[in-house]
Amino acid sequence: MTVHRQPGTVITDRTFVVPLDHSRPEGERIELYAREVVAAGRERDRLPWLLYLEGGPGGRSPRPLGRDGWLVRALDDYRVLLLDQRGTGRSTPATRQTLPARGDAAAQAEYLSHFRADSIVRDCESVRRELLGEDGRWSVLGQSFGGFCAVTYLSFAPEGLREVFITGGLPGLRVTADDVYRAAYPRMERKNAGHYARYPEDVEAVRSIVRHLHDHEVFLPNGGRLTPEAFQALGLMLGFATSSHALHYLIEDALVPTSTGIELSDSFLSQAATRLSFVANPLFAVLHEPIYGQRSVDSGPTGWAADRIRAEFPQFNAGAALAGDSPVLFTGETIHPWMFTTDPALAPLREAAELLAQREQWPDLYDPRRLADNEVPVAAAVYHDDMYVDTAHSLATARAIRGLRTWVTDEYEHDGLRVSDGRVLDRLVRLARGDL
């Protein structure tokens, strides 16, 4: 094991080997990487463990720079394990570079079918037993999709849990992918309204950019195509604390005069390429809708739900907005099949993604009856009008999990855990312990 020291912390690299398919423990095995973080001077203390599960799907764990962010609070009480979930970070990777070694698109899709919350939770249980022993229990902190995983954990293996903290990640227990996006588009529209109210000059700026994209074929520095629909996808930014401001700064000088006419600036194109590419997180795109599949809720495929449901909300049609005088609306956390042609990082995964979109009979991820009998202390931060996770779905789930305590707040957006310097986590710890 490699040990490093950073300001206020001691960090230990750990690796674990787990089955690809936990129903076939004798089969192929993959590697998981995790970073153990403990407060400097407390390395030898018998501290309880806190497992952190990142959002996504497909997000690697945070890379700490000493005792920063929510670790400021966590390291008061815990020894923290930052897990790179399967396929991410330093765990056995699943990307356009590695997946072709699996074989054809069907083989790749079959492999990726083992990268949902059910497999992640079974990974966590394997790691828990190795670190704490069969009877050891640990706490879990789940952010966004990590919260989805935490609810799966409560459904599958609550005996391994001491307490659970969830931030912006209470999933609907009995909702389909269609339900998720039918609720999501109105939230996206509200985020657009808030942005344009804050920066009214952006209405015409965005219309001018989209008009330019409609009339010209534009390529990003990474070789991707910037279509009007791809530009609208920059709305993924709008659900975080300062993201409306960041979007405004991105577009304020997007168009520049040149000797041949108006063009999109190199600066804008460079930033847009970074924002739009899934090169650092392809699993986010490939698995984004399969994470909602449950055979007992809907045995059919997720079938590009966000793309299909978008047709029910014509106000997001950029061409129609340009033909009239309406603002062009940005979209949000929606994945569309055209992304697998415009983004070079996703293009090699297009066929596998299509097979996953059409896959049926996804195993269930949540057990409502077991959750109704829950005995693990659970506290959840539910962000008012969260852009990425529907508040109504979250509150229904909160009512369905016995003993769960919620903190509903509009003080923070979806990134509250990251930007609050430990205040969000502190409140959840106190809620779970009955101190509030």
pLDDT tens, position by position, 148-207 = 999 999 999 999 999 999 999 999 999 999 999 999 999 999 999 999 999 999 999 999
Interval 381-415: pLDDT, tens: 999 999 999 999 999 999 999 999 999 999 999 99
Q: Which residues contact 367 (CB under 8 A, 6 or more apart)?
A: 155, 156
Percent of the chain with pLDDT over 70: 100
Q: What is the average pLDDT score of the chain?
A: 97
pLDDT band at residue 59 under the 50/70/90 scheme: very high
Residue 368 buriedness (CB in 10 A; 0-12 / 13-18 / 19+): middle
Helix orientation angle between 177-198 and 243-251, rounded to the nearest 10 degrees: 70
Taking the C-alpha atoms of residue 195 and residue 189, their distance in angstroms, rounded to an integer, is: 10
- 322 and 380 in a single domain? The answer is no
Q: State which of 331, 357, 383 marks the end of a domain.
A: 357
> Quick check: pTM over 0.95?
yes
Confidence check: pLDDT of 282 > 90: yes
- 189 and 283 in a single domain? The answer is yes
How large is the average pLDDT for residues 324-348? 97
Range of the domain at 16: 3-173+366-432
Q: State which of 302, 324, 357 marks the end of a domain.
A: 357
- 50 and 136 in a single domain? The answer is yes
User: Which residue spans within 241-352 are E strands per DSSP?
Assistant: 255-258, 261-264
Query: Distance from first CA to last CA of the chain, Å, rounded?
Result: 40
* From 144, 155, 277, 420, active-site residue: 144
pLDDT at 1: 78
- 140 and 253 in a single domain? The answer is no
- Could you tell me the CATH number of the domain that includes residue 423? 3.40.50.1820
Confidence check: pLDDT of 309 > 90: yes
- 162 and 297 in a single domain? The answer is no
pLDDT at 436: 84
Q: Which residues contact 248 (CB under 8 A, 6 or more apart)?
A: 195, 198, 199, 202
Strand partners, 245: none
Name the DSSP letter for residue 329. P
Confidence check: pLDDT of 258 > 90: yes
Confidence check: pLDDT of 122 > 90: yes
- 161 and 252 in a single domain? The answer is no
The tokens describing 226, both together, are: 């910037």
- 35 and 181 in a single domain? The answer is no
- 137 and 215 in a single domain? The answer is no
Burial 179-208 (b: 16+ CB within 10 A, else e): bbbbbbbebbbebbeebbeebeebeebbbb
- 274 and 387 in a single domain? The answer is no
The tokens describing 252, both together, are: 């304020």
Is-cis flag, bond preceding 7, omega within 30?
A: no
Number of domains in the chain: 2
- 222 and 138 in a single domain? The answer is no
- 120 and 12 in a single domain? The answer is yes
Q: Which residues contact 111 (CB under 8 A, 6 or more apart)?
A: 20, 94, 99, 102
- 345 and 418 in a single domain? The answer is no
Q: State which of 330, 357, 384 marks the end of a domain.
A: 357
Residue 386 is among the residues annotated as catalytic for this protein: yes
* From 386, 390, 415, 426, active-site residue: 386
The tokens describing 34, both together, are: 């995790």
Residue 244 is among the residues annotated as catalytic for this protein: no
Residue 155 is among the residues annotated as catalytic for this protein: no
